Amino acid sequence: MATTTTDETLASAADVKLDLKGDNKFTLTKEEQLALIRVNLAEFLNPEIIENVINEGRHPRIYWGTATTGRPHCGYFVPALKIAQLLAAGCHVVILLADIHGFLDNLKAPIELVNYRAQYYQFCVTAILEAVGVPTEKLEFVLGSSYQKTPEYIMDLYKLCSVVSEHDAKKAGAEVVKQSDNAPLSGLLYPILQVLDEEYLKVDAQFGGVDQRKLFAAAKEWLPKLGYKERAHLMNPMVPGLHGAKMSSSDPDSKIDLLDAPEVVTKKIKKAEAAPKVAEGNGLLAFTEFVLLPASSLHGSGEFIVERERDGLEPLVYKDAAQMQADYQNDILTPQLLKPAVSKALNTLLAPIQAAYQANKEWRAIALKAYPEEDKKKKVKKVKDKGSRYPGGAAKDGAPAPEDGEAAGAA
């Protein structure tokens, strides 16, 4: 019988000490590996699948996919930091650069640009992981179109289309595929492709956000219909954006780009919504919990420091989110203290990524091809026809005179 692990048992790896140096071999006990795999997940479906793999002495093979559409922003740190933890736990992680998915999702990515965007995403994800000091030798990038156009894959796609109803396909993709009144059929294919990817990438588990839960549940049901085995599914929570809602590439005000300058980052965080004493839905607290603290654990002291020099007080030092949220609710940690601390920590995290971008000519060239700037249409000033200077006279340039009762040159 399938089992589910919820967040009550997922945040138990706070004291796991990581060894990110050397050749990244198994340096943890099985219990520590499992604890690190579980930490900061919102839900874990069929954890026994991963437990069995570890008991067999194998590296769990887990995949995370991303449709290569808009520019990766700081929201990508959430899955990236979880991927860093999976790598530290000895997992082999496959990053699916889902170029065809990006095209199928209501044409979010023009087919002419998907290849460039896939390359841009690969640079970004690699740089994020390297920024927190994670060895990436067990990280594998796969382009979706490299196997999703093969005869075997297409035949399995047809087979699934014959056993999956329109209702079920729409339900599976409800949270991840853009919905519209007259949606194209490609939106129904999107979840079917993602389910098949588990088999064709030969993984033990798929990792994604809780917004993909319906799709993961569909995978557990649909794959056995083709004679393929079930996989485990790991889900990270959806972290609020700067204004409370989901951080989105399509909303510039809700996101911080990986290449935003320090002053831009500071300005955006200063404008972020952060009601005093209200921890729930606070994007800055959530970002600290799921990005800044894990990043510090992987690459530094495991601390998030809030300076209070201006008030003549000692800094607040946090090693876990619970104490930070309690202090925020008690108004010890205020928005005025939190925002500059987040800005400083995030800019420190972004600095090596931006340095890598500036040092890499190929990455910069790909960025221009993947996200070409739109030609700014120059506004042409419309010249009003003022007509002649006397009533009843002919208008300029041979235009007919105005009708009786209409002022000459009236618009």
Q: What mean pLDDT is reported for the chain?
A: 84
Q: Using an 8 Å Cβ cutoff, are 3 and 47 in contact?
A: yes
**Cβ atoms < 10 Å from Cβ of 368:** 11
Q: Using an 8 Å Cβ cutoff, are 298 and 20 in contact?
A: yes
pLDDT tier, 382 (very low <50, low <70, confident <90, very high otherwise): low
pTM of the model: 0.81
Which of 183, 135, 191 minimizes the C-alpha distance to 160?
A: 191
pLDDT tier, 149 (very low <50, low <70, confident <90, very high otherwise): very high
Which of 89, 91, 74, 90 minimizes the C-alpha distance to 131?
A: 74
Which of 192, 193, 119 minimizes the C-alpha distance to 360?
A: 119
66 has pLDDT over 80:
yes
> Phi, psi at residue 296, to the nearest 5°?
-65, -35
Percent of the chain whose pLDDT exceeds 70: 80
> Phi, psi at residue 100, to the nearest 5°?
-70, -40
> Phi, psi at residue 13, to the nearest 5°?
-110, 20
Q: Using an 8 Å Cβ cutoff, are 104 and 135 in contact?
A: no
pLDDT tier, 220 (very low <50, low <70, confident <90, very high otherwise): very high
- Non-local (6+) Cβ contacts of 175 within 8 A are 211, 212, 213, 214, 215
Element (H, E) at 359: helix 335-359
DSSP 241-274: -TTSSB--TT-GGG--BTT--HHHHHHHHHTS--
> According to the model, what pLDDT value does residue 393 have?
47
Angle at the Cα of 380 from the Cα atoms of 379 and 383, rounded to 5 degrees? 140
Q: Left if phi > 0, otherwise alpha if psi is -120 to 50, otherwise beta: which for 140?
A: beta
> Phi, psi at residue 92, to the nearest 5°?
-95, 115
Structural domains of the chain, ranges and CATH numbers in brackets:
19-236 (3.40.50.620), 252-370 (1.10.240.10)
**Cβ atoms < 10 Å from Cβ of 315:** 13
370 has pLDDT over 80:
yes
Rg of the Cα atoms in the chain: 26
> According to the model, what pLDDT value does residue 14 have?
43
What's the number of CA atoms in the CB half-sphere (13 Å) around residue 373?
3
| Cα Dmax for the chain | 98
Q: What would the two tokens of residue 16 be? A: 């796991």
> According to the model, what pLDDT value does residue 301 have?
84
